Amino acid sequence: MKTVVTIFSVLVFTVISAVNGCPPSDRSALLAFKAALREPYLGIFNSWTGTDCCHNWYGVSCDPQSHRVADINLRGESEDPIFERAHRTGFMTGFISPEICKLTRLSSLTIADWKGITGEIPKCITSLPFLRILDLIGNKLSGEIPADIGRLKRLTVFNVADNQLSGRIPSSFTSLSNLMHLDLRNNKISGPIPSKAGDLSMLSRALLSGNMISGPIPVSMCRIYRLADLDLSMNKISGVIPPCLGKMAVLATLNLDCNMLMGTIPTTLLTSAIGNLNLSRNALEGNIPDVFGLTSYFTVIDLSHNKLRGPIPRSLSAASYIGHLDLSYNHLCGRIPAGAPFDHLEASSFMYNDCLCGKPLRAC
């Protein structure tokens, strides 16, 4: 009788495990994904054993109701004990297997900061209807962003910074109506910013620096009401700076340095809510607008390495705060105003202009 009870208990446990564990198809997809990667130092895949991939598989989480794999979170830089014990960050080689696309309930995919993962972003990734987060920062991925990326209607985070991606930003990108965080920094992406970028109505951060993006800044971007951080630095962007950027409600950081922008500095940028403004290393010309006042609060204004002329605006002395100001390498002329913020700035802020004088430079 005792033997019968034991056998019955084992059968019940097996049935419960089968019901509560992940489906064999999900487990098979994960093992195929693992087979395409090699992680020699930390042993993060050592826990990927047994039939239930929802239980104690490192970096894998499942939906509590359906028991389908919902999240994969594998970061090569982490405070997890497995990294602390090894006294090192992660390093992984191989590629992201298209088998990952068989996890059809996947909501979040993070394979970040492994430094050695190569290959392309699987094109089938755009067939995952529930995907909200795609974070592949810090690898060696190449190829292009999938052309039909716009199919991921639920996507809120797209981070592929610090890879070797090339090609253009797909026009379908502007269909990502729920996208909040876009990070394409430090790749080899070329071509223009899509003209309908303003359709990304939920976007709060757009980080595109360190690429080969060309063409003008689309005026439509001014419609992105929630945009707080726009970084287009270190590209080949040309044309004029749209004045409407200075009318955006919550834009606080605007980095346009190291491009080929021309024309004058829009007055709106200096009377806006922008507190971190970097327009250096372009071909901007004309006078610096004399429009500062009590509401002017800048942690950074960098206008260096341009073709600006005329005097330093006297109204800068009326600003409530200016932390860092750099006007070097222009064609400015005249006396440097006295008082704040000029009394705490170094000579390097004013060097290499045509004829500036006064403290901290030579006397007039």
β-pair type (157-159, 166-168): unpaired
pLDDT for 88: 87
Inter-residue long-range contacts of 281-288, CB under 8 Å, 24+ positions, other chains counted: 281/257, 281/305, 281/306, 282/256, 282/257, 282/258, 282/306, 283/307, 284/241, 284/308, 285/309, 286/310, 287/311, 288/312, 288/313, 288/327, 288/332
Burial of 65 (0-12, 13-18, 19+ CB in 10 A): exposed
- pLDDT tens for the chain, residues 1 to 364: 444 333 333 333 333 444 568 999 999 999 999 999 999 999 999 999 999 999 999 999 999 999 999 999 999 998 888 888 888 888 999 999 999 999 999 999 999 999 999 999 999 999 999 999 999 999 999 999 999 999 999 999 999 999 999 999 999 999 999 999 999 999 999 999 999 999 999 999 999 999 999 999 999 999 999 999 999 999 999 999 999 999 999 999 999 999 999 999 999 999 999 999 999 999 999 999 999 988 899 999 999 999 999 999 999 988 999 999 999 999 999 999 888 788 888 999 999 999 999 989 888 8
Return the pLDDT at 16.
40
138: left (phi over 0), alpha (psi -120 to 50) or beta: left
Q: How many residues does the chain have?
A: 364
Supply the DSSP string of 110-161, one letter for each residue.
Answer: EEES-EEEESBPPGGGGG-TT--EEE--SS--BSB--TTGGG-TT--EEE--
Q: What is the DSSP letter of 6?
A: H
- What pLDDT was estimated at residue 20? 63
Closest by CA position to 150, among listed 170, 180, 128 = 170
| Per-residue burial over 136-162, b = 16 or more CB atoms within 10 Å of its CB, e = otherwise | bbbbebbbbbbeebbbbeebbbbbbbb
What 3-state DSSP class applies to 283? Answer: coil
pLDDT value for 87:
85
Measured CA distances, 171 to 135, 149, 200, 213 (Å): 20, 9, 12, 14
Distance from the first to the final alpha carbon of the chain: 107
Can you give the pTM of this predicted structure? 0.91
Q: What are phi and psi of 321, to 5 degrees?
A: -160, 135
pLDDT of residue 345: 87
CATH class of 28-357: alpha beta
The amino acid sitting at 322 is I
Secondary-structure percent of the chain, ordered helix, strand, coil, rounded to 5: 25, 25, 50
pLDDT of residue 82: 86
